[in-house]
Chain A
Amino acid sequence: MAEADATTRHVVVIGGGPAAHRFTEAMAARSAANPGFVVTVLGEEPHLPYDRVALSRRLVDSEDLTLGDRTLWDAPGIRYRPARRATAIDPAARTVTIEGGERLSWDELVFATGSSASVPPIPGAEKGYVYRTIEDVDFLVAEVARLRVALRRPANVVVVGGGLLGLEAAGGLQRLGGNSTIVHSGRWLMSAQLDEGAGQALGRLIEAQGIALALGTRPSEILCSPSGRVLGVALADGRQLNADLVVFSIGITPRDELARDAGLDIGPRGGIAIGDDCSSSHPGIWAIGEVAAVGGLCVGLVAPANAMAEVAADRIHGGEALFPGIDDATKLKLSGVEVASFGDALAVTEHSLEVVYADPARGLYQKIVVTGDAKTLLGGIFVGDAAPYTSLRPLLGRELPAEPGAYLSAAGAEPPAGGELPDDVQLCSCNNVSVGAVRSAVRGDHDEACTELGALKACTRAGTQCGSCVPLVKKILETELTKAGVEVSRALCEHIELSRSELFESVRILQLASFDAIMERFGRGLGCDICKPVIASILATQTSGYILDSGRGALQDTNDRALANMQKDGTYSVVPRIPGGEITPQKLKVIAEVAADFNLYTKITGGQRIDLFGARLEQLPDIWKVLVDAGFESGQAYGKSLRTVKSCVGSTWCRYGVQDAVAMAIQLELRYRGLRSPHKFKLGVSGCARECAEARGKDIGIIASELGWNLYVGGNGGYQPAHAQLLAQDLDDETLIRYIDRYLMYYIRTADRLQRTARWQEELEGGLDHVRAVVCDDSLGIADELEAAMAAHVGNYEDEWAATLRDPERLRRFRSFVNAPTTPDPAVVQVTERGQPRPARADERDTAVPLGLSIPLRPGAAAAGQAAIAQTAIAQTATSQTEGR
């Protein structure tokens, strides 16, 4: 969009939620063809617009919920101003006033103020909390943890409201360790969306998770101690519930106050009244999302909000778009419980028929609503098994290809195969994407063909919001690719046609033990820098031999080749293992002496150990001789293998610790040290819920609970950070280790090359639930095998550096030159900075004296020469290796 000039039209959006985000995207999408708008979005919260539908994930995961591509907000002509609350509008003067007094002019004003959570007018209500914003969720997470520590027992949480949000809040708080009770005025849960049969099935599933239900009643008072601490909730039916924390989730109230004050028309039950074109009663003022009342009704769902945003953007550009009506289909998954409803779920259409399968004992309920002739689909409800939802949903209002009963999968029916969806069917209702648009993108009709799911989602935006249509998007992708004769290649490289996991299994089953044997069977050519390290890693995991012997030396990647980490100048860094970050002063001294004697740059790593930089290839054995003699072993910082197990100080010293995190960290680090895997992996152990070890940023995070250990998996820092997700709770030591054994071995067997655990478990068919089934329930029957493989690794482990130093033939690999084995690389030039050596930059190399062939300066002598630029001294201890072969 253009920078401001006289013809620029100023659009101000009040509110920074999903509707505002979608509106801004829609404006940006039109900017190329139609510049001349400047959009200013005033967000009340201090965040960029985020995905409110996904708040329940943050309850368990503290993940980043920011919507869409952040670069949207850096585009020219678009400004996002967070934490700016609008206090008044003046429709005549066309201005909006912001808290603090600043006044903005507008040509078009868009209300996207959303709604606030309602709180019932009962005594003590001010002691309750709501579940509406990121701050609300973060507070609830912290509060449940705080109460657990303060009360020395799980917190009792009462959630008022048994609708969609209330269920999410109760489920999330339960998983965080609270004891949840849901109070709901209806006779069954989600009574606005579900019929009685479905509501009862749902109630049974929710109760099975340990969540208590108080149905058909309302709270009458929040009971507090004289000091103001919440003690319980009194109910209208005379009962009392114990409570330490009360959360209200009884509905939403549109934030229409500014519009009311300005005299705009308001709907009969609140909300800014708009027409099909999203315009309010005042020209130039629009309303979208939850604050907008269409036909007198406000809706708290994403799909209608997105549709309104598109309509408003189109209209502001002079278009003719009309709001197509409310799509209130919902699907949620509450710790494994699937609930979905769409269309005329309650069968209010005249003469409609309900085809039902109900099995209250198993918590299953499926209902399909059709017209009187049983042909046209009107709606449906699914509880416990929502498998048919994805394929039925797009057929709403159309003739079903088969008998309605054929879609009741819980009754054992199988929907007819081959029934392809017509192109004009809406696939993703959140973003209004049709089946045809997705097909066209796969084929590449207009642009480059999208042949993988990620690209297809990015390009069409299908499945990027609530995600419920992703399975269908994936299916269309596969179908179209198959039609086009495209086979998705999983080959490692030009030499190996198998994927890493296929290769791993083939090598394991055939018990192949060498590169040559593997290449003879599955490869061609000499291999390359992609397949050779993969094969080296597979052989290392399966055969546990010294990684540079038996022809495997030449397979190793840069770092493994030297058992050290190559730096930019060709020197190496050395990292001794410091299990759990625990180290004696004596051992610290040895590291200090090595660093001083070999003039190594010293830095503390993020994994609670010490990195020594600037060691030349031929120095590595001498350095490790000292370290191994002092009881150190390789830290495998160079390997695609276990790095560190980070720990907090644990219950030994800490006032808050509930378990011995350090002892557990050391035990785990010693167990998994040296284990080769598809990528590096890290563990963390925290001794209490305060999580000082930041364990959830690790591939495997272990957090102490009062009862044992909670196991989290799939965390990752780096380029794509991810918080580890809960796999199992309150484990004893033995079960914890068994689960980690299984998890790691399953990962090692099935992950792609360089795929970290986070991406692996995300892309694995069935996701985390599948991993949990394999690890905790042994659903594949391979648990014993996985544990045996890990036992073999643990039994065969040997320190790679001790093994190297024992064998002169292995030491040969650490010569600097084949014809001058102990001569330093003359091209390595270092300078001193902040009292330590570092590689010289190109512009410093000319003035620094290179580390020549015959300049064995003794330590201290260098200081006599240059001051700032000092030549690296070759320590006397470093030249003990004898010259010659």
Chain B
Amino acid sequence: MTNDDWVPLCSLDDLEPLWGEAALVGGRQVALFLLPDGSLHAVSNRCPATGSYVMSRGIVGSKGARSTIASPLHKQVYDLATGECLSSPDYLLPTYPVRVEAGIVQVALAEAA
């Protein structure tokens, strides 16, 4: 992955732990989550079950050791790290690489188109 693939989105200070935010990258939407341990997750903002762009507004939680996000519409629960749906085998939530460079949150979308 070259530096060109990383898109800057916002300052790390813009994110509140456990409060999801949506970001717009070209025409695409990313949901960003900052966890209390400082880790960051970027997933598609599109709810796989309904097609609406709402994932950033779901509730962050955990199932066993895994961190999760629940769709705010019908509460399907996804593993934030892998995008696997833990409540139904029918859905998969795309995930994106994310990092912080000099206080700026960056994602790489080419990876998981």
Binding site for B on A (CB under 8 A): 494-495, 525-529, 532-533, 553-555, 557-558, 561-562, 566, 568-570, 617, 813, 815-820, 823, 825-828, 842, 885
Contact = CB atoms under 8 A, between A and B. Distances in A.
Given A528-B77, A558-B73, A827-B29, A819 B9 contact: yes
B62 interface: yes
Interface of B: 9-10, 14-19, 21-24, 27, 29, 32, 35-36, 46, 50-54, 57-64, 67-68, 70, 72-73, 75, 77
B60 A568 contact: no
Given A554-B17, A554-B60, A568-B73, 12 more contacts: A526-B36, A526-B60, A527-B61, A527-B62, A528-B61, A815-B21, A817-B29, A818-B10, A818-B14, A819-B23, A828-B53, A885-B14
A827 B53 contact: yes
B27 A570 contact: no
A816 B22 contact: yes
Contact of A566 (B46, B51, B57): B57
B54 A570 contact: yes
B70 A529 contact: yes
Contact of A558 (B24, B57, B60): B57
Given A526-B60, A529-B58, A568-B50, A818 B32 contact: yes
A558 B72 contact: yes
A532 B59 contact: yes
Contacts of A529: 58-59, 61, 70, 75, 77
Contact of B63 (A528, A533, A562): A528
Contacts of A826: 24, 27
A157 to B, nearest CB: 53
A640 B80 CA distance: 28
Contacts of B16: 553-554
Contacts of A570: 52-54, 57, 73
Nearest to A823: B24
B62 A526 contact: yes
Contacts of B15: 818
Nearest to A516: B36
Given A494-B63, A554-B19, A570-B52, A817 B24 contact: yes
B100 to A, nearest CB: 14
B85 to A, nearest CB: 14
B14 A557 contact: no
Give chain A's interface secondary structure class: loop
Contacts of A817: 21-24, 29
Given A525-B61, A528-B62, A558-B73, A568 B24 contact: no
Contacts of A885: 14
A825 B53 contact: yes
A552 to B, nearest CB: 10
A532 B61 contact: yes
22 contacts: A525-B61, A525-B62, A525-B63, A525-B64, A526-B68, A527-B62, A528-B70, A529-B61, A532-B59, A554-B16, A554-B17, A554-B60, A558-B73, A569-B52, A817-B24, A817-B29, A819-B10, A820-B23, A820-B24, A823-B24, A825-B29, A827-B53
A872 to B, nearest CB: 16
Contacts of A818: 9-10, 14-15, 21-23, 32
A851 B97 CA distance: 28
Contacts of A527: 61-62
Contacts of A819: 9-10, 23-24
The CB with the most chain B CB atoms within 10 A, among A529, A553, A813, is that of: A529
Contacts of A828: 53
A526 B22 CA distance: 21
Q: Report the 3 A-B pairs with minimum CB-CB distance, sorted nearest first.
A: A528-B61, A554-B18, A526-B62
Contacts of B77: 528-529
Contacts of B51: 842
A532 B54 CA distance: 19
B59 A528 contact: yes
A296 to B, nearest CB: 64
A810 to B, nearest CB: 12
A183 to B, nearest CB: 61
The CB with the most chain A CB atoms within 10 A, among B15, B51, B52, B75, is that of: B52
A653 B67 CA distance: 59
B19 to A, nearest CB: 5
Contacts of B61: 495, 525-529, 532
Contacts of B22: 816-818, 825
Nearest to B55: A570
Contacts of B14: 818, 885
Contacts of B54: 566, 570
A719 to B, nearest CB: 17
A825 B47 CA distance: 14
Contacts of A816: 22
B2 to A, nearest CB: 21
Contacts of A554: 16-19, 59-60
B36 to A, nearest CB: 8
The CB with the most chain B CB atoms within 10 A, among A529, A568, A818, A842, is that of: A818
B46 to A, nearest CB: 8
A640 to B, nearest CB: 14
Contacts of A525: 61-64
A16 to B, nearest CB: 42
A126 B10 CA distance: 85
Contacts of A823: 24
Contacts of A532: 59, 61
A495 B59 CA distance: 14
